[in-house]
Amino acid sequence: MKKAKLMALAVAAALSVTRPAAAQAQVQAGAAPTGANALNPGISLILNGIYGNLSQDPAGFKINGFVPTLGEVGPPNRGLSLGESELVISANIDPHFRGTAVVALTPENTAEIEEAYVQTLGLSHGLIAKAGRFFSSMGYLNEIHAHAWDFTDAPLANKVFLGGQLGDDGIQLKWVAPTPFYLDIGVEASRGLHFPSGPDGGRNKNGTGSGNFFTHVGDDLGTSTAWQAGLSYLSTSPLDRTYDDADSTGATVTNSFSGRSRLWVLSGILKWAPNRNPTYTNFKLQGEFFRRKEGGTLTFDTATTAQPGDYSSRQSGLYLQGVYQFMPQWRVGYRYDRLDAGTTAIGLVDSGALTAADFPILAAYNPTRNTLMFDWSGSEFSRIRLQLAQDKSRSDVTDKQVFLQYIMSLGAHGAHKF
């Protein structure tokens, strides 16, 4: 082994007579790791933990006015708890493909595949294909991992329309246009693993359970600002998508929806940093608007009476947030959340077969939330955050929340996504 290295050095030295620059670089390249470990993929591990102080019991969390999603939408626990530890592994597979896996190790000692996908490197013409499990391109925040969010938790709109964060098994095809500014269009065809598709886990059928279309436009504005806007549309036909509610006597019932669900997301992000140098100060403005239309059959109490009736709803929601870094390492941010329960027509109630009190979670209510956060980053790899929120997701109470959180990453350098 040592001999081979000496030989390489000798060869390099001999070459240096004619090509000094290249040969010197070769000598240095010889110092790179060799052997079986040299081609290890990039590995990083995200560690996070949280202290929560909530005026309301998180176990009773619900968002009134909206169909429950079965997703991870509740606030963090009271007291001290470990967050999800995220293991990220990625590398180029060969000149044609790149692979990425993100495994979340939950504090309950289970492992969850958040993302596991391959994507093309060599299609050219601006085409990128992706296959596997990945976060759907539905709006801006949905594609970003929770550890890179500017707030501890997801916006209310992401909770009710995407079940917190929508990841699905499928394929994505994206085309980046050859334009002087950024423009992409793309489609996804997916299994329909989670809400708003149904049943949870996907339908037992050939073909796809969910499909979406998305497009983004972005560019620079002057010497200090950059922006991006996006539009996404998701269409799915849930079959027997269930949720639990209480009937008018207070007994727990399971209801089921079958029909069509369509969701539009409009997103916008604007970043400002003097001369594009965010080191000292920078500002980020971000907002998304969601609108959903659902229509079909809602079956009440599937376990006993199983009464079917028409169902239709038009609902919307938005969040708007700003985060300002006022000096190196220190940021402050504010987020406003608002959901509009819109109109929901339940056939069983309109016909008099049941009363609105049999569908309490669907009673019209417009949840709001105000969130304030401060964070300090020791370096690019560590962050400690304090977040205060006044959460009116529940129609009867206001939850006052305080979270103190750390997020740290070790291993491979993270990506500076826009």
Partner 1 sequence: MRTTSKILAALGLMAVASPTLAVLNIFTCEPEWGALAQELAGDKASVHSATTALQDVHRVEARPSLIARVRSADLLVCTGAELEIGWLPLLLTQSGNSKIQLGSPGYFEASQYVVKIEVPRILDRSLGDVHASGNPHVHLDPRNIAKVADALAERLVQLDPANADAYKARANSFGERWRAALSRWEQQAVRLKGVPVVVYHKDMSYFINWAGMREAGSLEPKPGLPATPSHLAELVEKMKREPAKAVIYSAYNSPRAAEFLSERAKIPSLMLPYTVGGTDKAKDLFGLFDDMIGRLLAAVK
What are the DSSP calls for 228-241, one per residue?
EEEEEEEEE--SSE
Q: Rounded to the nearest 5 degrees, what angle is found at the Cα of 416, between the Cα atoms of 410 and 418?
A: 145
H runs (alpha helix) in 242-386? 347-350
Exposed (0-12), middle (13-18) or buried (19+): which is 212, by Cβ within 10 Å?
buried
From the list 17, 21, 39, 251, which residue makes contact with partner 1 (rule: CB under 8 A)? 21
Comparing C-alpha atoms, which of 334, 402, 318, 333 is closest to residue 368?
318
The contact mask relative to partner 1 for 215-254 (x = CB under 8 A, - = no) is -xxxxx-----xxx--------------------------
What whole-number distance in Å separates Cα of residue 295 and Cα of residue 259?
6
What whole-number distance in Å separates Cα of residue 212 and Cα of residue 232?
7
From the list 8, 9, 15, 27, which residue makes contact with partner 1 (rule: CB under 8 A)? 27
- Minimum CB separation of residue 227 from partner 1 in Å reads 8
Q: Using the minimum distance from each CB to partner 1, give the nearer residue, 123 or 363.
A: 123
Taking CA atoms, 179 is separated from 104, 183, 218, 219, in Å, by 37, 7, 11, 11
Question: Helix 2-15 and helix 20-29: axis angle, to 10°?
Answer: 170
From the list 51, 61, 149, 182, which residue makes contact with partner 1 (rule: CB under 8 A)? 182
CB-facing half-sphere around the CA of 62: CA atoms within 13 A:
19
Q: Is 18 one of the binding residues for partner 1 (CB under 8 A)?
A: no
Q: Using the minimum distance from each CB to partner 1, give the nearer residue, 34 or 351.
A: 34
From the list 174, 241, 383, 385, which residue makes contact with partner 1 (rule: CB under 8 A)? 174
- Minimum CB separation of residue 126 from partner 1 in Å reads 4
- Minimum CB separation of residue 90 from partner 1 in Å reads 9
Q: Is 44 one of the binding residues for partner 1 (CB under 8 A)?
A: no
Three-state DSSP state, 168: strand
Count of residues engaged in binding partner 1, rule: CB under 8 A: 58
Q: Is 34 one of the binding residues for partner 1 (CB under 8 A)?
A: no
- Minimum CB separation of residue 97 from partner 1 in Å reads 11
Q: Is 28 one of the binding residues for partner 1 (CB under 8 A)?
A: yes
From the list 25, 80, 306, 332, which residue makes contact with partner 1 (rule: CB under 8 A)? 25
What whole-number distance in Å separates Cα of residue 346 and Cα of residue 40?
56
Ranges within 93-122 binding partner 1 (CB under 8 A)? 95, 98, 119, 121-122
Stretch that binds partner 1, among 29-37, 156-164, 188-196, 346-354 (CB under 8 A): 29-37
Q: Using the minimum distance from each CB to partner 1, give the nearer residue, 121 or 356.
A: 121
Contact 409, 147 (CB under 8 A): yes
The pairs formed by 117-120 with CB atoms below 8 angstroms and a separation of 24 or more are: 118/93, 120/96
Neighbours of 389 (CB within 10 A): 22
Contact 325, 271 (CB under 8 A): no
- Minimum CB separation of residue 364 from partner 1 in Å reads 37
Ranges within 339-398 binding partner 1 (CB under 8 A)? 379-381
Q: Using the minimum distance from each CB to partner 1, give the nearer residue, 10 or 177.
A: 177
The contact mask relative to partner 1 for 270-289 (x = CB under 8 A, - = no) is -x---xxxxxx---------
Contact 332, 346 (CB under 8 A): no
Q: Is 124 one of the binding residues for partner 1 (CB under 8 A)?
A: yes
Q: Is 41 one of the binding residues for partner 1 (CB under 8 A)?
A: no
Contact residues for partner 1, defined by CB under 8 A: 21-22, 24-25, 27-29, 31-32, 92, 95, 98, 119, 121-128, 174-183, 216-220, 226-228, 271, 275-280, 328-329, 379-381, 410, 413-418
